[in-house]
Amino acid sequence: MGDNTPKRTPVAPGVADEGAQIDIVGLTKRFLTPKGQPFTAIRDVSLTVEPGQFCAIVGPTGCGKSTTLAQVSGLERPSGGSVQVGGHIVDGITNGVSYMFQADSLFPWKTVLQNVMIGPVLLGTSKKEAMVLALDWLRRVGLSGFEDRYPHQLSGGMRKRVALAAALINNPRILLMDEPFGALDVQTKAIMQTELLGLWEELRPSVLFITHDLDEAVALSDRVVIMTTSPGTVKDIFDIDLPRPRGDVQTLRHEKRFIELQTQIWESLRDEVQRAYQRTTGVAA
Amino acid sequence: MSTLIQHNRGAAAARATGTPALQSEAELQASARRSRSRNRTWVWVGRIAVAVIFIGGWQLLAQNKILDPFFYGEPTLIWDSLVTLFTAGTAFGSIWDQLWVTVQEALFGFLLGTIAGVIFGILLGSNRYLSNVFNPYIKVLNSIPRIVLGSIFIVAFGLGIFPKILLAAVLVFFAVFFNAYQGVREVDQNLVANVRVLGASPLQVARHVTIPSAMTWIIASLHTAFGFAIIGALVAEVLGAQKGIGLIISQSQGRFDPNTVFACMVIMAVVTLGAEYLITLLERSVLKWRPPVRSDTQAI
């Protein structure tokens, strides 16, 4: 894996790096199906995430949202078009990126502390320093005292906090989140969203946030991108002008401007959702 | 179950006498403990009953000549030959010598086979090209009756300890290899993606993700693998040896002495049980991160 930019170093929390700009231009990704047929997951996707911006991607199931993230992280190579991060074309794993998945993606065989430490350790930080950093991050996500637990001993919300600490400890310039709160119950989800906003406002990485949940997208982001059904491409981009800091996500939901924006975006999303649904149920569109 | 019934009865009694059915935390705990120890006692009673019925029945049938003791032995005579083996020794020296030789062969075979199995399993499991190339050959190797290799090893390497180690290792290898291979294949790809994005090198991916994740599978295979190691060592000894439990077995077979054969089986069973215990200890310490299995958490 060729690292394309100089080695990152984990920074003490609070000393935030600038988030990096993400430019996606004409991005296309084709896969070979197991039968050998080419399949176009995304076609000609173009979007820009400004440094430090929180950008949500919303779209029906299977529209290539996750594929887009994989191209940005450098885990996969685009079939056409390009992704630039901070002005550098992505080839190989992008530097300064953290990923958060819907599944916990915690190491079940590592303790909470070891799970959070892994980021700095992989960058070559000494165990001691990594531990100090990890302890501080566990405190910030409210998990002091749980250092020696294993992931299976925690609740879903607590596991998400660990994953959040593990994703943020390296002070990423870009945070990629693939439906991170999709599996949580409604109350826990709201708490985690508020917490994420708080931490994001401190560190200000650029965020690409995938979700099915339109409320979530509007509440959290500066910009909402609607994608079409497969092959996925950008349908609409909405700027969310709700003031920051947004505070509690649950109270935000009742504000007039929130409801306006939500309704407006839903108009755009509805057609796509219906088309995707008809496709899966086999009804002609 | 029974506690529940008791509680209900207690409650009913309390209602009948008009006193409130108060069950303190301590009382509940005590009754749970009682029911657990009662369960355990009954399990042991059952276990002992099975042993008594099996061995006693065998003894009775043999004594009444319903089972011909000439072929099937007799528990008391098996005990006698066990005693003889340990007091008078064998034609080839003390029983401890023989046992040590067999255990050594099994142990070295086990180690060799496990190490090779883990290395190849992880290598082929994490490299699709290698796995596609070797796939048919591994299937072929797996389908040939490997026990027969023992004959070849003995012809090639003589009657010493080495061919036995080799046969044991070959049997162990496949058991461990397939599990390690499968274990690597089952690794959560999200975890791999996660550490790769964090900047892990392929070696770090192996160290932090692939190997610990495959460990569950590998350790599970060690239980059967040690059994295979013992089988490999014994069979190779029966095929030709100068020392070892397998040699005693083949000599007893020649003398139409089923009791000594059974006695040797008992000895090896004890050894295997001991090894099994050690592997379980290892499993517990390596896999202590695993959530307790549902059936392990006793429902009270």
Q: Is the pLDDT of residue B294 over 60?
A: no
Query: Quick one: pLDDT at residue B78?
Result: 92
Answer yes or no: do A119 and B198 touch at CB < 8 A: yes
Name the residue among B274, B259, B264 with its Cα closest to residue B237: B264
Q: What's the Cα-to-Cα distance from B228 to each of B141, B172, B205, B268, B293, rounded to whole Å? A: 16, 6, 32, 12, 26
Residue pair B176/B221 in contact by the 8 Å Cβ criterion: yes
Residue pair A70/A45 in contact by the 8 Å Cβ criterion: no
Domain ranges of chain A: 16-96+176-183+209-280
Any A CB within 8 A of B208 CB: yes
> Which token pair is A28?
């296309």
Share of chain A above pLDDT 90, in %: 35
On chain B, the residues whose CB falls within 8 A of the CB of A93 are 196-197, 199
Given this structure, which CATH class describes domain A16-96+176-183+209-280? alpha beta
Any A CB within 8 A of B254 CB: no
Name the residue among A157, A172, A3 with its Cα closest to residue A91: A3
- pTM for the whole thing? 0.75
Answer yes or no: do A93 and B197 touch at CB < 8 A: yes
Q: Is the pLDDT of residue A13 over 50?
A: no
Q: Is the pLDDT of residue A246 over 80?
A: yes
Per-residue pLDDT averaged across B235-242, rounded?
90
CA distance B167 to B159: 13
Q: Is the pLDDT of residue A77 over 70?
A: yes
Answer yes or no: do A123 and B198 touch at CB < 8 A: yes
Which of B200, B213, B290 is facing A122, going by the closest CB pair?
B200
Name the residue among A202, A205, A208, A193 with its Cα closest to residue A247: A193
Could you give the count of Cα atoms lying within 13 Å of A145 in the half-sphere of its Cβ? 1
Answer yes or no: do A108 and B204 touch at CB < 8 A: no
CA distance B35 to B298: 11
Any A CB within 8 A of B193 CB: yes
Any B CB within 8 A of A73 CB: yes
Answer yes or no: do B198 and A118 touch at CB < 8 A: yes
Task: Work out the mean pLDDT of chain A and round it to a whole number.
Answer: 85
Say if strands A97-100 and A174-178 run parallel, antiparallel, or are unpaired.
parallel
Per-residue pLDDT averaged across A210-214, rounded?
90
pLDDT confidence of B47, banded at 50, 70, 90?
very high
Q: Is the pLDDT of residue B23 over 80?
A: no
Give per-residue pLDDT as tens, B190-236.
888 888 888 888 889 988 999 888 888 899 899 999 999 999 999 99
CB pairs under 8 A between A and B: 66
Q: Is the pLDDT of residue B18 over 60?
A: no
Task: Work out the mean pLDDT of chain B and round it to a whole number.
Answer: 86
On chain A, the residues whose CB falls within 8 A of the CB of B290 are 108, 152
Residue pair B149/B213 in contact by the 8 Å Cβ criterion: no
Query: Quick one: pLDDT at residue A19?
Result: 80
Name the residue among A10, A86, A80 with its Cα closest to residue A46: A80
Query: Quick one: pLDDT at residue B293?
Result: 62
Query: Quick one: pLDDT at residue B113?
Result: 96
Helix (H, G, I), strand (E, B) or coil at A283: coil
Give the other-Cβ count within 10 Å of A47's Cβ. 18
Lowest mean pLDDT among A89-103, A170-184, B51-65, B235-249: A89-103
pLDDT confidence of A18, banded at 50, 70, 90?
confident
Query: Quick one: pLDDT at residue A4?
Result: 41
How many Å lie between the alpha carbon of A176 and the closest alpha carbon of chain B? 10
How many Å lie between the alpha carbon of A262 and the closest alpha carbon of chain B? 31
pLDDT confidence of B56, banded at 50, 70, 90?
very high
Pure H helices in chain B: 2-17, 25-63, 69-72, 75-87, 95-126, 128-143, 149-157, 162-185, 189-197, 202-205, 211-239, 245-254, 258-286
Dihedral sign for Cα A265, A270, A272, A276, please.
positive
Answer yes or no: do A98 and B188 touch at CB < 8 A: no
Which of A99, A108, A150 is facing B197, going by the closest CB pair?
A99
Give per-residue pLDDT as tens, A247-256.
888 888 888 9
pLDDT confidence of A17, banded at 50, 70, 90?
low
How many Å lie between the alpha carbon of A119 and the closest alpha carbon of chain B? 6
Angle separating helix axes B149-157 and B211-239, nearest 10 degrees = 70
Per-residue pLDDT averaged across B95-109, rounded?
93
Q: What is the CATH number of domain B76-286?
A: 1.10.3720.10
Answer yes or no: do A122 and B289 touch at CB < 8 A: no
pLDDT confidence of A16, banded at 50, 70, 90?
very low
ipTM score of complex: 0.80
Any B CB within 8 A of A211 CB: no
Any A CB within 8 A of B201 CB: yes
pLDDT confidence of A88, banded at 50, 70, 90?
confident
How many Å lie between the alpha carbon of B28 and the closest alpha carbon of chain A? 25
pLDDT confidence of B10, banded at 50, 70, 90?
very low
Spatial CB neighbours of A43, under 8 Å, sequence gap ≥ 6:
A28, A231, A232, A233
Spatial CB neighbours of A8, under 8 Å, sequence gap ≥ 6:
A95, A96, A123, A170, B199
